[in-house]
Amino acid sequence: MKTIDWSALDAGARAAALARPGGEDQAGIEAAVKRVFEQVQADGDTALRALTRRFDGVELGAFEVTAEEFAEAEAAVTPALRAAMVEARGRLLAWHRAGAGQGFEIETAPGVSCGRVLRPIARVGLYVPAGSAPLPSTALMLGVPAEVAGCPDVVLCTPPRADGRADPAVLVAAALCGIRRVFKLGGAQAIAAMALGTGSVPRCDKLFGPGNRYVTAAKQLAAMTAGGPAIDMPAGPSEVLVIADAGAPPVHVAADLLSQAEHGPDSQVVLATDSAGLIEAVRTEVERQLAELPRAGIARQALEHARLVKVGTLDEAFALSNEYAPEHLILALREPRAWLDRVTSAGSVFLGDFAPEGLGDYCSGTNHVLPTNGAARAWSGVGVASFQKAISFQQVSREGLAAIGPCAVEMARAEGLEAHAQSVLRRLGDAA
């Protein structure tokens, strides 16, 4: 892990020091994803079978999970895991219901009533990764807000295992959210199938879910396709930034860094602290804990991109963080709540020594599908609103038209749009 003295760097060097890994081959990734889309567009299910054979090493006759496979998944998952998923789902439901938006209606002028109604997106496509490990938690994170929003048609894609089946825990998590249309498809080809539609996979109106850089590029390409679906956000390789003071327990900080590093080789973990002593203690603790991890090899690759940043003050750390805009931000500070107002860009924030990022990944109640790669400067994590459309409406009486019509006429003529003005004037004549 590289140590950086923040005060010794100029603006350009600071940006370079915290650059996310993997950007150098982005053009190649985008070209590969474009070829996948072209294949799926041209050959549909035939292309999906060939791509699944190539990338997953599995020959599939049918992609959709059967009722028998759902039943077998229920039998395969341990009671303890199922109970944990039920428990986590309960907290997710509570959090998402509390944060759900509502319609409204107000009178903006006498006789003019304007409002907004919320409607669920008709068909949504959820992507649940299983690259180096299946993620049933992601099925819950996507399925619960879709359920709360009331989406009538939910499609879920997840990569097949070597035996040609979907991960049982993913299927159980999907079933807990009422999702029964699950397809054994992974990677860019899954995104292409949901974006374009094939004989087996229905075309979706909006796509959700995290994934590797190929999946992220596929979602972005889908959103740029004429008539293509919307997407939730850019959600690629995972990342965490920890802001810590001298009182932070090194064992906790090291564990937080490693919890993200084990996601994949292209994950990035960053520590920003005003304590040089903490940096050295964390470095030692990371090596000690790393030796105990089953995924140590993956974590070590990710740690090549890790940064231990020495700042002069915590104010500098927050300025750094807001510019970096991390997916996960952990405030390992003695009074973390007092610093929360300083956070302007982050996917999700974890306050204090007893709020590990792992709780947010699974069961605290917040959603773990979050913007990455600096997208948190403008994007938010998945919520119920992500699965809804807001439709405005207005109702105007004769008196209301008389009151505000001249305003519209004046503005329409200033823009040279006489037909707009006439649409009001002809009614004003009727209203007279």
Report whether 361 belongs to an annotated binding site: yes
CB 153 within 8 A of CB 179: no
From 147, 239, 285, 327, active-site residue:
327
Report d(CA 145, CA 95) in Å as an integer: 10
From 96, 305, 328, 368, active-site residue:
328
Report d(CA 279, CA 273) in Å as an integer: 8
Report whether 263 belongs to an annotated binding site: yes
Report whether 252 belongs to an annotated binding site: no
Side-by-side strand order, sheet with 123-127: 181-184, 153-158, 123-127, 206-208, 230-231
- Say whether 368 is catalytic: no
Report d(CA 212, CA 192) in Å as an integer: 15
Report whether 212 belongs to an annotated binding site: yes
CB 191 within 8 A of CB 225: no
Long-range contacts, 349-355 (Cβ 8 Å, 24+): 353/248, 353/249, 353/252, 355/330
Report whether 96 belongs to an annotated binding site: no
User: Considering only CA atoms, which of 326, 216, 144, 168 is closest in space to residue 207?
Assistant: 216
Report whether 260 belongs to an annotated binding site: yes
Report whether 328 belongs to an annotated binding site: yes
Report whether 238 belongs to an annotated binding site: yes
- Say whether 252 is catalytic: no
Q: Would you list which residues are annotated within the binding site?
A: 127, 189, 212, 238, 260, 263, 328, 361, 415, 420
Q: Would you list which residues are annotated within the binding site for Zn(2+)?
A: 260, 263, 361, 420
Q: Would you list which residues are annotated within the binding site for NAD(+)?
A: 127, 189, 212
User: Which residues form the catalytic set?
Assistant: 327-328
Q: Would you list which residues are annotated within the binding site for substrate?
A: 238, 260, 263, 328, 361, 415, 420
